[in-house]
Structure 1
Amino acid sequence: MSSTGSVVLPDEEAMVAFGQVIADASDAHGVIFLLGDLGMGKTTLSRGILRGCGHQGSVKSPTYTLVEPYAIGDKQVYHFDLYRLSDPEELEFLGIRDYFDEQALCLVEWPDKGRGILPQADLLLSIELEGQGRKLHWTAQTELGQAMADKLETAVSE
């Protein structure tokens, strides 16, 4: 199972708006890995996803705290930024396994830093430069990810 798709997002506003589409596709459940170089828009996309889940406040990158939890009504979203992680074992001290349950949505920036500790992603989102904007690729890794990818494909084709 490896459904893929992509969309070109011309600016930050489009990135945030597509994050809201991703939120709808996920129904605030699952594990999404955000891949891309520094400055590609992973946190901007996360802001859009959080807004799509109903979050009204600011969204900061959890670069120093590693995780920022968001309780949004009956939804629980965890935004991870593992950029500064020096050893995946540090995640065990954070109690990482407690965050990944079927009722939560986990957004993970720099997931390669947690290799061997993190669970499998349902959906991989990869961001790269495309002219002045960004190209977002998605790849489903699980049945849940496949359902998300199908909804994203439908949204892009409308």
Structure 2
Amino acid sequence: MTVENHPLIVKSIAWQDETATQAFAQTLASRPSIGNAMIELSGDLGAGKTTFVRHLLKALGVQGRIKSPTYAVVEPYAVDVPGLGSTLNIWHFDFYRFNDPREWEEAGFRDIFASPGLKLVEWPEKAGKHLPKPDLLLAIEVQGNESRTVTLTAHTAAGKELLA
């Protein structure tokens, strides 16, 4: 299977503990294509999706408390990124509470997903076919108390660069 003339890339990694999650987030934050990526996160409740997002946002320079958007559905952030020369807009979505994929359309998220910036999406399956194809999918599976197996799937050239 190819997307944008690039082969689909699938990797599996292990996060032995939260320190490993943080290290992966810091590495991802250093990739040039992170500033305009869409990353989907899948996994059961408690798998570590929000924990990963918090580490990624901190690595990108977000200051203060980073809230889970479970009730608000979306939490926006804007950070000045050294070397980028402008403000990076970031949106953290959590569609867990959606009962119907049409809620995504009714919420008016189409413009956000069409705009530049980083989009992080928890529970993407709840939005159904309304979401654009992600650059990168992180499927997180709990292996033990702190250990996680993460399957990384790059769907685009930007996703492939994120995994480089």
TM-score over 0.5 (shorter chain):
yes
Q: Given residue 141 of structure 1, which amino acid in structure 2 is its aligned partner? A: H
> What secondary structure does 1:131 align onto?
coil
The runs of 5 or more residues in structure 1 that have no matched partner are: 151-158
> What secondary structure does 2:130 align onto?
coil
Equivalence for 2:67: 60
> What secondary structure does 2:129 align onto?
coil
Once the two structures are superposed, the pairs formed by residues 7-156 of structure 1 within 5 Å of their partners are 7-25=13-31, 26-73=33-80, 74-101=87-114, 103-132=116-145, 133-150=147-164
In the comparison of the two structures, how many residue pairs are matched? 150
Hey, what's the Cα distance between the residues in 1 that align with 2:22 and 2:37? 19
The runs of 5 or more residues in structure 2 that have no matched partner are: 1-6, 81-86
Q: Tell me if the contact between 1:125 and 1:137 (Cα under 8 Å) persists in the aligned partners.
A: yes
TM-score (norm 1): 0.88
Q: CA RMSD in A?
A: 1.4
TM-score (norm 2): 0.85
Hey, what's the Cα distance between the residues in 2 that align with 1:7 and 1:20? 15
Quote the sequence identity (%).
45
Larger radius of gyration: 2
Equivalence for 1:154: none
Task: Measure how far apart 1:131 and its partner are.
Answer: 3.4
